[in-house]
Amino acid sequence: MQANIQLDDTDARILTALSADSRRSYADVAAEVGLSTAAVHERVKKMLERGVIERFSLRVDPERVGLHFTAFVAIRNDGGAHCRDIAPRLRELPEVLELHSVAGEYDFLAKVRTTHARGLEDVLYQIKAIPGVARTTSTVVLNTEFEERPLRWPGSAPAA
């Protein structure tokens, strides 16, 4: 809930550089942003402490590990006492990669990935078995055009 109060242009450039390749050496990044290695190190450390950088990660191609099927599942709850418990239960399902509570006709929107269409059926059975889940509607993804883009925010530089 904190804004980018203490993120200057240099921080933004470091984030841009490391978003594209987080294993780049700080020496290399330092040369690009015009700072010493130690200074880049210090800034990264502070961004980790402040939670701006959540973690260093890597992007795996879902197709190459056999996850050929993607769907968005909208979930409606029944308005009963179990509503608060639905999200934790959905977190237990590894196929649910992403979960948002949303406004509108449905209460949650989940991104689900499985090896094939048949796998979604299994996941839907599990979701429907969660107490408080009233109904679901699935939207099948035909093709993912792009995903997990490096973030851009007011004040951040476009990726080179």
Partner DNA sequence: TGTGAAAACCTACTACA
Partner DNA sequence: TGTAGTAGGTTTTCACA
Query: Where do contacts with DNA occur on this chain (CB under 7 A)?
Result: 6, 10, 25-28, 35-39, 41-43, 46
Q: Which does 46 bind (CB under 5 to 8 A by kind): DNA, a copy of itself, none?
A: DNA
Nearer to DNA, 26 or 108 (CB): 26
Compute the least distance from the CB of residue 36 to a copy of itself, in Å: 19
Quick one: what does residue 116 bind among DNA, a copy of itself, none, with the CB cut-off 5 to 8 Å set by partner type?
A: none
Cβ atoms of 132 and 85 within 8 Å: the answer is yes
Give pairs for 3-12: CB < 8 Å, separation 24+: 4/153, 4/155, 6/50, 7/47, 7/52, 7/155, 9/155, 9/157, 10/35, 10/43, 11/43, 11/47, 11/52, 12/155, 12/156, 12/157
Q: Checking DSSP bridges between strand 108-114 and strand 69-77, what pairing results, if any?
A: antiparallel
**Closer of 21 and 28 to a copy of itself (Cβ):** 21
Q: What is the DSSP letter of 75?
A: E
Q: Using CB under 8 A, which of 45, 100, 128, 135 touches a copy of itself? A: 100
Q: Which is nearer to a copy of itself, 35 or 70 (CB)?
A: 70
Q: Give me the residue label for tokens 């490096």.
A: 150
Identify what 81 binds: a copy of itself, DNA, none; CB under 5 to 8 Å per kind. Answer: none
Could you give the 3-state DSSP secondary structure of residue 108?
strand
Counting beta carbons within 10 angstroms of the beta carbon of residue 6, is it exposed (0 to 12), middle (13 to 18) or buried (19 or more)?
Answer: exposed
156 binding a copy of itself? (CB under 8 A):
yes
Rule CB under 8 A: say whether 148 interacts with a copy of itself: yes
- Positions touching a copy of itself (CB under 8 A) are 1-4, 7, 15, 18-23, 50-68, 70, 72, 87, 90-91, 94-95, 97-104, 106, 108-109, 113, 115, 139-156, 158
